Amino acid sequence: MAIHEHDTETTIEEILKAMSAKGWRITDQRKSLAGLFAESRGYLAPKDVYEYMRQQYPGVSFDTVYRNLRLLTEMGVLEQIYLNDGLKFRARCESHHHHHLICISCERTIPFEFCPMKQMDGVPTDFQVLNHRFEILGYCGDCTPVNAKQQ
């Protein structure tokens, strides 16, 4: 399995297109935010995003950054996850349907193609599934604790 990769330019375009579709003006700040997520290979904490944005735009507030993260998640261009140190965000995968193995130490994201929804028994027949995510949290080969490797 390969480490998760995505095309930076395509990701920026997708994020900006989603913003525009919701009537957002495409400002330099929003372009910078899209670029940050397109270039990031892992998850970003809201504080990290704020610190990055504050370097370029000293007047930006944490509340504005956090509100944008939540709205971009609602739009479907960012994914959010709760890891050990809190809520984090990353650019959503646009290429095709897949799921992720996520290392809780280095936060490496490894895609896998198997979709467990196909084997799900017990979902009520009158429930219409619109979307789903399946994530497995653990340790990648580089981060597996020493005593677990010896077993």
Closest-CA residue to 15 (of 85, 92, 96):
92
Model pTM? 0.72
Instruction: Provide the CA 27 distance to its chain's centre, in angstroms.
Output: 22
End-to-end CA distance of the chain: 23
pLDDT 10s per residue in the chain (151 long)? 344 455 788 889 989 999 999 999 999 999 999 999 999 877 899 999 999 999 999 999 999 999 999 999 988 889 888 887 889 998 887 656 677 788 888 877 777 777 777 777 878 888 887 777 778 888 988 898 765 554 4
> Which domains does the chain show, CATH number per domain?
8-91 (1.10.10.10), 99-149 (3.30.1490)
132 is in an annotated binding site: yes
What's at 50, amino acid-wise? Y
CB atoms within 10 A of CB 30: 17
115 is in an annotated binding site: no
97 is in an annotated binding site: yes
What's at 145, amino acid-wise? P
140 is in an annotated binding site: yes
